Amino acid sequence: MKKIALVTGATSGIGEACARKLAENGYNMIITGRRTERLEAIAAELHALDVEVLPLVFDVRDREAATAAIQGLPDEWQEIDVLVNNAGGAWGLEPEYEGNYEDWDTMIDTNIKGLLTMTRLVVPGMVERDHGHVVNIGSVAGDAAYGGGNVYCATKSAVKALSDGLRIDVAHTKVRVTNIKPGLVETNFSVTRFHGDKDRADGVYKGIQPLTGADIAECVAFAVSAPEHVQVAELLVLATHQASGSVIHRQ
């Protein structure tokens, strides 16, 4: 019987790449996102890989919708083997004392509370079955703050702490927890951060070859394919010319 993986935020970027990679590796896929048409299009493409796909349209910030979706899974979809908590993002790059309240709420509600909601809904089943793997998509930004990153960096620091805490909480089981921490990844991330300003977003990657969503998906696949006695607790992944969240050599 094929294993089941659930990827949140699967309509673009790292989440979409993870869904494709895990499907290529034979997982039946539960994919979630907010855009119905995009989610259904990706589901159709994944079907071509000879796997079953269940698209679920909801925002991880909406706890009631997330709960209804997960608790309402058909019997054959309930035993989730891998949970990839990918849904998240950054909004704004202002100094902390000039930050936008709505941007703060969006980041905290998505990057922290959304991750917590999905963990709370899925992990009890893993613990009961004594099997499963949680992969949280963190960031190099969770290691140290950078200019303008304030609240986003704080949310990714929280992802690290929540990953570490969950790993402690499930240490008596065979459930594994991995925190993947990407550096510069060229996705829709920067367009979101700059509220749709594509030119400004493109400047983030100027002079450096950034990572791609597929690069991060390879790291996720590596972690979940390790033998059951091997737990890849944390994986920092940077572009070759990036040394940290704030040190980047541009050519």
Q: How confident is the model at residue 157 (pLDDT cuts 50, 70, 90)?
A: very high
pLDDT higher than threshold 80 for residue 189: no
> Among positive and negative, which fits the CA dihedral 229, 239, 134, 54?
negative
Q: Of 2-6, 162-166, 227-231, 243-247, which range is least confident? A: 243-247
The active-site residue out of 97, 146, 152, 205 is 152
User: Taking residues 214-224, what's their average pLDDT?
Assistant: 98
pLDDT higher than threshold 80 for residue 192: no
* CA dist., res. 19 & res. 32, Å (int): 10
The residues pairing with 28 across neighbouring beta strands, listed in sequence order, are 4
The residue ranges of every structural domain in the chain are 68-237
| Interacting residues of 93 by C-beta distance below 8 A, sequence separation 6+ | 148, 149, 193, 194
* CA dist., res. 48 & res. 62, Å (int): 31
Residue 41 CB neighbour total at 10 angstroms = 13
Indicate whether this model's pTM tops 0.85: yes
Cβ pair 11, 34 in contact under 8 A: yes
Mean pLDDT of the chain: 95
Q: Tell how strand 53-57 and strand 175-182 pair up.
A: unpaired
Render pLDDT for 232-243 as a digit per residue (tens, 0 to 9). Answer: 999 999 999 999
pLDDT higher than threshold 80 for residue 94: yes
Mark whether 146 is an active-site residue: no
pLDDT higher than threshold 70 for residue 33: yes
> Among positive and negative, which fits the CA dihedral 240, 192, 166, 19?
negative
Write out the two tokens for 124.
């009890």
Q: What is the pLDDT at residue 201?
A: 67
The residues pairing with 83 across neighbouring beta strands, listed in sequence order, are 6, 134
Q: What is the pLDDT at residue 191?
A: 66
Q: What is the pLDDT at residue 190?
A: 66
Q: What is the pLDDT at residue 216?
A: 98
Q: What is the pLDDT at residue 188?
A: 75
User: Taking residues 88-96, what's their average pLDDT?
Assistant: 94
User: Taking residues 139-167, what's their average pLDDT?
Assistant: 97
Q: How confident is the model at residue 52 (pLDDT cuts 50, 70, 90)?
A: very high
Percent of the chain with pLDDT over 90: 90
Q: How confident is the model at residue 1 (pLDDT cuts 50, 70, 90)?
A: confident
Classify domain 68-237 at the CATH class level.
alpha beta
